[in-house]
Structure 1
Amino acid sequence: MEFEFTRNTLMGEYYVKCSMGHEIVGRWLQEEIGKDRDKIAEVEALIVDSQGKLSSDCRLEGAEISLSIQGDEVTIQENVLDHEMKLEEGSEFDFYNSESTASCGIDDFELLIERWKDFLGY
């Protein structure tokens, strides 16, 4: 997963852009976590808690987007997808759903969080 961080110095806003197929990861980091040190620490604690728990699901529920870690797999997904009916494969909503959920390895995700902290100067 590739990512890029930018900052609007006039507005003091921070932005995250992730590679195609991982756009939701950038939105989650930007909108749900942002510059909040407590939330960043919560994510780091979740990463540590998930290690060694191959079968259990470690979850951080966000207002619109949630994080789930199971084993070495991280999934970030819009909450609305948990509440919608499962659509048939090949439906017209597949493209939309592909931008609403993404998975990556725990190592890539941990690197993303570390780099985000570095970018923020924490």
Structure 2
Amino acid sequence: MEYQFIRDPIFGFRAKFNDEQALFGRWLTEEMNTNPEKLGQLLGLITQAKTLQQDEIQLLGKEVTLTLSRSEALLEANILHHQDEDLSQYQDDALMLDEDGLIAVCGYEDFVALIEAWCEFIGFCHSKR
């Protein structure tokens, strides 16, 4: 997984990924960013995932949900699960939901390395797991 972290004087900390993994950048930048409560919760889930009794655990965000298992990390935009929305009403306008960029996945080890690199980049100090 290739990524770049950016410290922007106007917009703050940002994460940039290739097109396939762009959702990881959006999630880190918008959902996690430098929020110590969210980052602490995420680090706890990473530790939990190693010894999961269940298949997977989820971290629901405002726009993106993380599903973490012992083998992979999956990000999905919450809009994919809005069954209440009747998208057929937009058919006449030739509009439809484009699912590109709304799902991203990576291996568990790559995800852990990413989160550790992000925490180091933003200066988030945490206790050893």
2:121 matched to 1:119? Answer: yes
Report the counterpart of residue 7 of structure 1 in structure 2.
7
Are the equivalent residues in 1 in contact too, given 2:69–2:108 (CA < 8 A)? no
Report the counterpart of residue 50 of structure 2 in structure 1.
51
Counterpart amino acid of residue 83 in structure 1: H
- Once residues 57 and 80 of structure 1 are traced to their aligned partners in structure 2, the CA distance between those partners, rounded to angstroms, is 20
In structure 2, relative to structure 1, the CA distance for the partners of 1:97 and 1:12 (3 Å cut) is closer
Three-state SS of the structure 1 residue aligned to 2:38 is: helix
Unpaired stretches in structure 2, ≥5 consecutive residues: 86-95, 125-129
2:108 matched to 1:109? Answer: no
Unpaired stretches in structure 1, ≥5 consecutive residues: 86-92
Are the equivalent residues in 2 in contact too, given 1:54–1:70 (CA < 8 A)? no
Q: Taking structure 2 as the reference length, what is the TM-score of the superposition?
A: 0.79
Write the mapping of 1:26-45 to structure 2, written as runs, cut at 5 A. Answer: 26-45=25-44
Identity of aligned residues (%): 29
Give deviations 1:68-88, integer Å, cap 9, x for gaps: 112211100100112249xxx
Output the aligned Cα RMSD.
2.1
Shift of 1:18: 1.0
Are the equivalent residues in 2 in contact too, given 1:35–1:120 (CA < 8 A)? yes
- Once residues 15 and 108 of structure 1 are traced to their aligned partners in structure 2, the CA distance between those partners, rounded to angstroms, is 19
Three-state SS of the structure 1 residue aligned to 2:19 is: coil
- Once residues 12 and 63 of structure 1 are traced to their aligned partners in structure 2, the CA distance between those partners, rounded to angstroms, is 19
Q: Taking structure 1 as the reference length, what is the TM-score of the superposition?
A: 0.83
Larger radius of gyration: 2
Shift of 1:121: 1.6
- Once residues 62 and 118 of structure 1 are traced to their aligned partners in structure 2, the CA distance between those partners, rounded to angstroms, is 22
Shift of 1:38: 1.4
In structure 2, relative to structure 1, the CA distance for the partners of 1:5 and 1:49 (3 Å cut) is same
- Once residues 69 and 54 of structure 1 are traced to their aligned partners in structure 2, the CA distance between those partners, rounded to angstroms, is 13
